[in-house]
């Protein structure tokens, strides 16, 4: 069972078409498909061959309304604030980012993020997909001493230790991996990461086969 998670396409049809050529059982678009919510309709056709398996989250460049309309029009699943079960794993998603200096359409306060994550706290084992990265990690580092992630997401990971965590948002950290406690974390970026849930250790515990998709 393979999950492809990607983010921050920002209108690039060529990047999206490379992702759509990859075979997976589930596709998670983790926000910022467009810029300021414009041009989503132009990306829909590239994604529609995977429509029944396509789950979409709003980034900070899209509103909940933008993504809900996009999913209705194209036959995708709106996964913002939702969860599902795949095999023995729970998969949960939360779009939007913590506040930015740019007043983009999809921003929550830290308290709003914490409140919206709380329903996922009891899910275990959990694969958590958020647009924003956890604060003060390699995943949210935009430069020397520049960290722009969410404190609420970091607190959730520290407290509840989801098995796997995926994010985007900070372009400079795309492709970066970090381990927080038992949680394997990736900033997936536009190249994406492929998670193979059928890969198991001899001990019977999950083994991650996550790799660059290019």
Class level of CATH domain 2-212: alpha beta
Task: Count CA atoms within 13 Å of residue 140 on its CB side.
Answer: 19
* Residue-wise pLDDT tens digits, 27-44: 999 999 999 999 999 999
Residue 114 dihedral angles phi and psi, to the nearest 5°: -60, -45
pTM of the model: 0.94
Q: Residue 90 forms beta bridges with which residues?
A: 85, 126
Structure tokens at 107: 């921003």
**pLDDT tens for the chain, residues 1 to 214:** 999 999 999 999 999 999 999 999 999 999 999 999 999 999 999 999 999 999 999 999 999 999 999 999 999 999 999 999 999 999 999 999 999 999 999 999 999 999 999 999 999 999 999 999 999 999 999 998 899 999 999 999 999 999 999 999 999 999 999 999 999 999 999 999 999 998 733 334 544 445 555 4
* Residue-wise pLDDT tens digits, 67-99: 999 999 999 999 999 999 999 999 999 999 999
CA distance 148 to 130: 14
Domain ranges of the chain: 2-212
């Amino acid at each position: 069972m393979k999950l492809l998670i990607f983010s921050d396409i920002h209108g690039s049809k060529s990047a999206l078409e490379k992702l759509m050529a990859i075979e997976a059982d589930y596709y998670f678009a983790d926000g910022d498909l467009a810029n300021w919510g414009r041009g989503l309709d132009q990306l829909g056709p590239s994604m529609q061959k995977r429509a029944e398996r396509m789950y979409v989250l709003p980034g900070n460049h899209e509103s909940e309304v933008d993504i809900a309309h996009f999913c209705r029009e194209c036959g995708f699943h709106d996964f913002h604030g939702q969860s599902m079960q795949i095999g023995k794993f729970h998969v949960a998603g939360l779009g939007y980012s913590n506040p930015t200096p740019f007043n983009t359409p999809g921003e929550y306060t830290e308290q709003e993020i914490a409140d919206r994550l709380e329903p996922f706290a009891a899910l275990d084992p959990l694969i958590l997909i958020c647009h924003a990265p956890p604060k003060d990690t390699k995943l949210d580092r935009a430069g020397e001493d520049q960290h722009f992630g969410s404190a609420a997401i970091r607190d959730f990971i520290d407290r509840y230790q989801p098995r796997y965590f995926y994010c985007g948002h900070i372009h400079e950290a795309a492709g970066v991996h970090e381990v927080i406690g038992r949680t394997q974390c990736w900033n997936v970026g536009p190249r994406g990461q492929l998670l193979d849930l059928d890969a198991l250790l001899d001990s019977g515990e999950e083994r991650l086969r996550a790799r660059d998709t290019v």
